Amino acid sequence: MIAIGVPAEGQDEPRIGLTPETAKKLVKAGATVTVRSGAGMRSHFSDQDYSAAGAKIAKSDAETVGDADIVLTVRRPDPTIAKAMKKGAALIGMLDPFSDAEGLDALAKTGVALFAMELMPRISRAQVMDVLSSQSNLAGYKAVVDAAAAFERALPMMMTAAGTVPAARVFVMGVGVAGLQAIATARRLGAIVTATDVRPAVKEQVASLGAKFIAVEDEEFKQAETSGGYAKEMSDAYKKKQAELVAEHVKNQDIIITTALIPGRPAPKLLSKAMIESMRPGSIIVDLAAERGGNAELTRPGEIVEHNGVRIFGKLNLAGTVPVNASSLYARNLQAFIEPLIDKEKKTLAINFDDELVKGTLIAKDGAIVNAMIAERLGGKSGGVAAAPAKAANGNGNGKANGKKAAPKRQPKRSKTGGTT
């Protein structure tokens, strides 16, 4: 019988990779599930909830993962977790494959198979496993809610006997999943919303949500999206024209949400110090790219900075600030991914290493890095599995393809946010 273990996350991560709901389904499918005591408390899931779902409760992480065939995490775990696992077991989570390659290599050398959910291929059958979309959706929502709470003015226009309260102006920079949800949330709150992105395909999606699209729409712009749905790197000439347009637009905005990221690179700078200084005192910037240095020149990761009366929010892990929802969605993503890895008759781990989703997410096997991108960062060559470079997106739903021919492009879920990852 296949065994699944869920250790506790670090102090800065309130989410968990298994909920009582998904635990119950996995137990029903024939798995034994062990959860570290207290691991779900920061997502408001008690040990009693897990026990009622059929899971076992362990007193230590070592006891939780020691006999597990599959270990589920949110963040890349401490190496002691992997060392406590048996060789050949699968560690599945958001392993941040573009950071600390040496640390990832050390994790790989334990002999555990490492699967990075951020590298999930962008194909139709993988939609239910798309952790970036599920988490970015919540991050985009929370960015607007946090900004509205800090703004100290009303967002919708109000007609009163004493006069009219004007609607706030919200500008969303980067229209991936997070950006689209930010647009939808700001519109629901009654703000006047504009948005920008280098991908021409999102213009229609922005309009469908009731916002106005802002961009230099020249010939380069019309060719600014790869076949996989990612943003291309734009020329310096285009960047200059776009920056001039944005600089003029920024002056009159009350709230700006930035979401732009390219996998494996520092966040592109979209808001210069001069742009920020052109904004009115009391304005708010929420930088969803803070973990990678930020889209705003003055962003400080993990901090709120005030400059000339403008506050720049560099909060990290916004999805984790709504941990019940974030954990529920993430756990369903993981459940959908691991179910095909289980032999339904023998109830054992049976990974098909030729499967497209396995190839896309697998970064280490048998003690070696097998993902070409990660191996290149380590200065070596991938070994073992012939892993194609995965088409990774960033946690905010924007990104750049890696140059390899893209898998069939999946259609955006407009009922969810209106756009792609």
* C-alpha to C-alpha distance for 284 and 306, rounded to whole angstroms: 9
Is 242 tagged catalytic? no
Is 127 tagged catalytic? yes
Q: Which of 61, 105, 130, 254 is catalytic?
A: 130
3-state helix, strand, coil in the chain (%, to 5): 35, 15, 50
Q: Which of 37, 127, 208, 278 is catalytic?
A: 127
* C-alpha to C-alpha distance for 96 and 286, rounded to whole angstroms: 22
Residue 22 near residue 5 (C-beta atoms within 8 A): no
Is 238 tagged catalytic? no
* C-alpha to C-alpha distance for 281 and 309, rounded to whole angstroms: 4
Residue 373 near residue 387 (C-beta atoms within 8 A): no
Residue 295 near residue 173 (C-beta atoms within 8 A): yes
* C-alpha to C-alpha distance for 243 and 280, rounded to whole angstroms: 19
Is 181 tagged catalytic? no
Q: Which of 50, 230, 238, 330 is catalytic?
A: 230
Q: Token pair of 170, please?
A: 């919200």
* Residue 59 DSSP class: S
* C-alpha to C-alpha distance for 211 and 228, rounded to whole angstroms: 25
* C-alpha to C-alpha distance for 115 and 172, rounded to whole angstroms: 32
- Taking Cα atoms as reference points, which of 2, 1, 5 lies closest to residue 77? 5
Q: Which of 133, 242, 335, 382 is catalytic?
A: 133
Q: Which of 122, 169, 332, 377 is catalytic?
A: 122
Query: Which amino acids are annotated catalytic?
Result: 122, 127, 130, 133, 230
